[in-house]
Amino acid sequence: MSFTYEDLIHPLPLKDFYDIYHRKKWCVIKGNDFKKNLFSKTLSWKQFSDYINNDRAVSGMQAILPNGKKLCLEKNNLYKEKIPSWSRKDYFEKKYLHNIWSNHGSIILTKASLLTKEISSIAHAIETEFKGACDAHFYCSKTAKSRSFDPHIDHDDNFLVHAHGSVKWTICNTLENKGNDATSFNLTTGDLLYIPKGLAHSAVPLSKRISISVPLLEVNDMKTNTVTPLDRKYYDFS
């Protein structure tokens, strides 16, 4: 699977992205047939269900409760009953997660840029263009009533890949500055949103959805002169 960052932002010219938007302004690149097909394959609902049921979320997982509280795998608070004898230290309870999912919570698969070849290829295209390192976090919600994060600011540039469903986004300059400064819009399958670091934003699901945040760490963000991306090559162990 081979494509470039220019393919991801088409029809926006690459020069326009750098001159107008990079590190300056947010922008939306609407989906075309290529991106709709690619983004929808980053994670299917069957893969999402299998991933959790097969206990594969060893990298990271979070859940947002209906009241807005966040639980995460790293803090070992994604279970309520006793940890099974043969489980990992970072155990999560599927029954507890399913209850959160069924009662308007959301599930986030974090540190998941190697989860499928499609999301890894998207991350690779961005890494190659900016000579940086990407991660990927899958935001999954069951209904329009599902809770998501409150407005917040990220410390890295973010590319938001929309795989399934619709999401209402709101962006403003700061967390305190709302009203006339806030801009809201809806995105769906195949759409790509770029948000420079430091801009306040929030996302509210309008339907069952999977949206993927792909944060980018560039050399300019580091005190050193290098960043190290993940090894995205596929090795055949058969």
What CATH number did the domain enclosing 14 receive? 2.60.120.650
Backbone angles phi, psi at 83, to 5 degrees: -75, 130
For the segment 144-152, the average pLDDT, to the nearest whole number, is 92
Instruction: Confirm whether 74 is domain-assigned.
Output: no
- CA 139, CA 106: separation in Å to the nearest integer? 7
Instruction: Confirm whether 28 is domain-assigned.
Output: yes
Instruction: Confirm whether 39 is domain-assigned.
Output: yes
- CA 102, CA 200: separation in Å to the nearest integer? 29
Instruction: Confirm whether 62 is domain-assigned.
Output: no
Mean confidence (pLDDT) of the chain: 90
Tell me the residue range of the domain where 124 lies: 5-44+113-217
Residues 6+ apart with CB under 8 A from 78: 61, 63, 71, 72, 91, 92, 93, 96, 97
Instruction: Confirm whether 34 is domain-assigned.
Output: yes
pLDDT digits (tens, 9 = 90+) for 212-234: 999 999 876 666 677 899 999 98
Instruction: Classify 197 as helix, strand or coil.
Output: coil
- CA 213, CA 65: separation in Å to the nearest integer? 19
Q: How far is CA 174 from CA 112, 142, 222, in A?
A: 28, 29, 23
- CA 67, CA 7: separation in Å to the nearest integer? 39
Instruction: Confirm whether 86 is domain-assigned.
Output: no
H/E element, 33: helix 33-40
Instruction: Confirm whether 80 is domain-assigned.
Output: no
Domain count, the chain: 1
Q: How far is CA 169 from CA 46, 123, 172, 176, in A?
A: 26, 22, 10, 17
pLDDT digits (tens, 9 = 90+) for 77-134: 676 666 665 666 666 788 888 999 999 999 999 999 999 999 999 999 999 999 999 9
Residues 6+ apart with CB under 8 A from 129: 4, 5, 6
For the segment 47-58, the average pLDDT, to the nearest whole number, is 80
Q: In what order do the strands lie in the sheet with 183-187?
A: 152-153, 200-205, 167-172, 183-187
pLDDT (0 to 100) of residue 57: 58
Backbone angles phi, psi at 152, to 5 degrees: -155, 170
pLDDT digits (tens, 9 = 90+) for 158-180: 999 999 999 999 999 888 765 57
- Residue 176 DSSP label: S
Instruction: Confirm whether 99 is domain-assigned.
Output: no
